[in-house]
């Protein structure tokens, strides 16, 4: 990952794709194929994401949307086209990639074989779609100035709409699901994943339906700062702002007086402050987060959402449907 970023130029790669150096974008696996299995890469007729594969199977022609191509890490988010400099560096021909179109574009119709396999009516129009996170932002009406969509799911995403493709270490820059503007997404790889791991490992597991209510009650009784107990919640690596996949979680400052409620609260506080830090950085780049809409399983936690509202100074309410 680091070597490829250095070859292209870390800042140049970030500016083109909107993605800080990280293990997630597909571009780094394509680099591995170029170095380790070049024949396989050269012989690949098409290099497709899920969107491209599904449209191929449904219509006979693969198509990418701008938002499905975006996470590959080889898409120019300003030009909304595959980046020729990155393709040249990888030795990939543009013809190996699907045509990329604005989400909402009709890309074909369901052909007879796909209709027989899926039960869909032959001739049903197939429309280019968007990424799940970006569409969650669209679904809560966050494609306007000042609104943050806060997905408290397996990962935590705090996204805000921007007219321009602003890049920074505290977020990844994604093309919006309509193609108009961009979403700046601050991301913590372990959100509710960390919470569930903690409950399963230390609090008896999630088979007890009342466990979260009990832990929330205990944590609510603990003062702000968790009596000096600190948590690092990067259980499966850190995304913003360090983009370090080797980062790991920790609890620091443990004392015999600390209870499960302290540990639970310390974890929520850590994730809360990481979100608040990212939103403050967005402010320094001219964005104006003024309200938040919370979605995802964590949005059901009154304690957690209150923490976030208090730490950021931004009003927050739960989306009509908590599922992202």
Q: Other C-beta atoms within 10 Å of 99: how many? A: 16
61-100 per-position pLDDT tens digit: 999 999 999 999 999 999 999 999 999 999 999 999 999 9
8 A C-beta contact, residue 137 and residue 169: no
Q: Other C-beta atoms within 10 Å of 309: how many? A: 17
Reduced to 3 states (helix: H, G, I; strand: E, B; else coil), residue 23 is coil
Q: How far apart are CA 233 and CA 267, in angstroms?
A: 6
**pLDDT of 150 strictly over 70:** yes
Q: How far apart are CA 56 and CA 270, in angstroms?
A: 43
212-225 per-position pLDDT tens digit: 999 999 999 999 99
% of the chain beyond a pLDDT of 70 = 99
132-143 per-position pLDDT tens digit: 888 999 999 999
In the chain, which residues fall in CATH 3.30.420.40?
A: 2-127, 131-324
pLDDT band at 107 (very low <50, low <70, confident <90, very high): very high
**pLDDT of 169 strictly over 90:** yes
Question: What pLDDT is stored for residue 319 in this prediction?
Answer: 84
Question: What pLDDT is stored for residue 131 in this prediction?
Answer: 84
Residue 46: closest CA among 81, 90, 94, 80: 94
What number of residues does the chain have?
Answer: 324
Question: What pLDDT is stored for residue 324 in this prediction?
Answer: 52
**pLDDT of 208 strictly over 60:** yes
229-246 per-position pLDDT tens digit: 999 999 999 999 999 999
16-74 per-position pLDDT tens digit: 999 999 999 999 999 999 999 999 999 999 999 999 999 999 999 999 999 999 999 99
Q: How far apart are CA 191 and CA 185, in angstroms?
A: 14
What is the chain's mean pLDDT, rounded?
95
Question: What pLDDT is stored for residue 323 in this prediction?
Answer: 62
259-298 per-position pLDDT tens digit: 999 999 999 999 999 999 999 999 999 999 999 999 999 9
For 279-295, give the DSSP string.
HHHHHHTT----EEEEE
Phi and psi (nearest 5°) for 153? -110, -155
Which H/E stretch holds residue 86?
helix 84-90
* Mean pLDDT value of segment 98-116: 97
Which H/E stretch holds residue 42?
helix 38-43
183-199 per-position pLDDT tens digit: 999 999 999 999 999 99
Q: How far apart are CA 71 and CA 214, in angstroms?
A: 39
Question: What is the dotted CATH code of the domain comprising 2-127?
Answer: 3.30.420.40
pLDDT band at 314 (very low <50, low <70, confident <90, very high): very high
pLDDT band at 130 (very low <50, low <70, confident <90, very high): confident
8 A C-beta contact, residue 133 and residue 185: yes
What pTM was estimated for this model as a whole?
0.92
The CATH class that applies to domain 131-324 reads alpha beta
């Amino acid at each position: 990952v680091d070597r490829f970023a250095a070859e292209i130029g870390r800042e140049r790669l970030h500016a083109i794709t909107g993605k800080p150096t990280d293990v997630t974008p597909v571009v780094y696996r394509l680099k591995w194929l170029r170095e380790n299995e070049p024949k396989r890469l050269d012989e690949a007729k098409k290099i497709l994401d899920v969107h491209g594969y599904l449209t191929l199977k449904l219509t006979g022609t693969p198509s990418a949307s701008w938002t499905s191509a975006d996470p590959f890490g080889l898409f120019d988010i300003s030009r909304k086209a595959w980046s020729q400099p990155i393709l040249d560096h990888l030795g990939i021909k543009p013809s190996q990639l699907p045509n990329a179109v604005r989400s909402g574009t009709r890309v074909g119709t369901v052909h007879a074989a796909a209709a027989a396999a899926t039960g869909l009516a032959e001739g049903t129009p197939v429309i280019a779609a968007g990424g799940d996170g970006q569409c969650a932002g669209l679904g809560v009406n966050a494609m306007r100035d000042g609104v943050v969509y806060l997905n408290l799911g397996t990962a935590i995403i705090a996204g805000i709409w921007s007219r321009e493709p602003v890049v920074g270490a505290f977020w990844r820059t994604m093309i919006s699901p309509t193609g108009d503007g961009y979403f700046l997404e601050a991301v913590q790889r372990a959100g509710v994943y960390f919470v569930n791991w903690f409950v399963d490992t230390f609090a008896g597991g999630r088979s007890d339906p009342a466990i979260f209510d009990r832990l929330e009650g205990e944590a609510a009784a603990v003062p702000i700062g968790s009596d000096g107990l600190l948590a690092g919640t990067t259980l499966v690596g850190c995304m913003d702002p360090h983009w370090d996949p080797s980062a790991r979680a920790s609890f620091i400052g443990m004392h015999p007086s600390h209870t499960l409620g302290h540990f639970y609260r310390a974890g929520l506080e850590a994730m809360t402050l990481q979100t608040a830090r990212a939103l403050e950085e967005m402010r320094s780049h001219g964005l104006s987060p003024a309200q938040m809409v919370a979605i995802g399983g964590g949005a059901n936690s009154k304690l957690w959402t209150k923490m976030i509202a208090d730490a950021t100074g931004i009003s927050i309410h739960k989306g009509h449907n908590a599922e992202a």
